[in-house]
Amino acid sequence: MKKKIAIVTGADKKYFSYLKNLVSSLEKSKTLEICDLCILLVDEDNKYLSEIDSLINNKKKASFSLRLFFDDKKNWYKLLTERPFLKDHFPGYEKYIWLDADTEVLNIQGIKNLIEATDLKDLAISPEMNESYVFKNTKFGIKKIFSSFYKISGWSFKNYKRYFSKDLGEDLFFKPLFNNGVFCMRSDSIFWELWKNEYQSALNKAKTSYGIKTDQLSLNKLIYENFEKTSILDSTNNWLIFKSEPTIKDGDNFYTPSYPRRIINIFHYTNYKSNESFNCLENETPRQIQILK
């Protein structure tokens, strides 16, 4: 029987180890008892998915639904351009949860939080902000020129200015960036059409593939323009390991470094390779956890 909630994700063959790990975590956390798993296919040959095929409810071959004006079109770019089209690719669900392939659901509560947070609002998403991230942020985007003169810099500011407007870059510079590697959106949300248009508008200015990642910036622009329709999720529901101080491991659970300790529901391995390790503390002893053993 078709469920009311769709979890949508995907990966190319190079990233399949992450996808397999994510799907395994969905099964282990019993998330697939309340959500259907839908996969966007981006490669011509998708035989590698046979390992997880029994857990997939629906698959859709993705193309580029938005216009790109550069020649370097990699298959995995479809996992960015198709995010505003999830309900078009997999119609009939009440809500759509997007999970990047390099996420891992540690606790079903993270999925339940995404679902509950969109009962009254259109979108549920976490900011790239937490008290445990502070001391890992060594490249704050203000550069000293001389004396007391400073210049605003940083990836977000530069690209807001390049693909949207200088005023937007200055307005959003000191506001949190919301990470669209994990989000939930209602099927009746106004964000779907707005996002398609805003992302396309940014891509119209992209003469190289550098502009493909404006998917996140375009959604952030819309979030701040429609803030009353957005539920802000705690960062435990999209924990960016590379930004964090070492997490705390106790049994099968991971906890926030800061007090009071909170269970982390969803790990996000962005900026990590599958053979790398990250640091945590177990019984006050430093330990390295290998990603995708």
Q: Could you please report the per-residue DSSP string of the chain?
A: ---SEEEEE---GGGHHHHHHHHHHHHHTTGGGTSEEEEEE-SS--GGGGGTGGG-SEEEE----S---SS---GGGHHHHTGGGHHHHSTT-SEEEEE-TTEEES-HHHHHHHHHHTSSSSEEEEES--TTTGGG----SEEEEETTEEEE-SHHHHHHHHHT-HHHHHHHTTSPPEEEEEEEEETT-THHHHHHHHHHHHHTT-SSGGGGGHHHHHHHHHHHHTGGGEEEPPGGGSEEGGGSSPEEEETTEEE-SSSSP-B--EEE-TT--TT-EEEEEETTEEEEEES--
Domain boundaries, the chain: 5-131+177-235, 136-172, 239-290
Q: What is the pTM of this model?
A: 0.94
Residue 151 has a pLDDT of 54
pLDDT in tens, the chain (293 residues): 789 999 999 999 999 999 999 999 999 999 999 999 999 999 999 999 999 999 999 999 999 999 999 999 999 999 999 999 999 999 999 999 999 999 999 999 999 999 999 999 999 999 999 999 987 766 556 666 666 555 555 778 788 888 898 888 888 878 899 999 999 999 999 999 999 999 999 999 999 999 999 999 999 999 999 999 999 999 999 999 999 999 999 999 999 999 999 999 999 999 999 889 999 999 889 999 999 87
Q: Domain 5-131+177-235 adopts which CATH fold?
A: Spore Coat Polysaccharide Biosynthesis Protein SpsA; Chain A (3.90.550)
